[in-house]
Amino acid sequence: MKQIVFVCLGNICRSPMAEFVMKNLTDQYQIESRATSNWEHGNPIHQGTQKIFQKHQVSYDLTKTSLQIKDKDFYDFDLILGMDENNVADLKQMAPAGTEHKIHLFASESVPDPWYTGDFDDTYRRVLAGCEAWLDQLARTEEFDR
Ligand code: 4NP
59-89 pLDDT, tens digit per residue, is 999 999 999 999 999 999 999 999 999 999 9
Q: Closest residue (by CA) to atom 10 of ligand 1? A: 10
The answer to whether the CB of 40 is under 6 A from ligand 1 is yes
Tens of each residue's pLDDT in the chain, 146 residues: 899 999 999 999 999 999 999 999 999 999 999 999 999 999 999 999 999 999 999 999 999 999 999 999 999 999 999 999 999 999 999 999 999 999 999 999 889 999 999 999 999 999 999 999 999 999 998 555 55
Q: Closest residue (by CA) to atom 8 of ligand 1? A: 10
The closest-lying atom of ligand 1 relative to the alpha carbon of residue 87 is 3
Mean pLDDT of the chain: 96
The answer to whether the CB of 84 is under 6 A from ligand 1 is no
Longest dimension (CA), the chain: 41
Please, how many CA atoms are within 13 Å of residue 50, restricted to the half-sphere of its CB?
Answer: 10
What pLDDT is recorded for position 117?
A: 94
Indicate the domain borders of the chain.
3-145
* Superfamily (CATH H level) for 3-145: Response regulator (3.40.50.2300)
Q: So which residues are the catalytic ones? A: 8, 14, 113
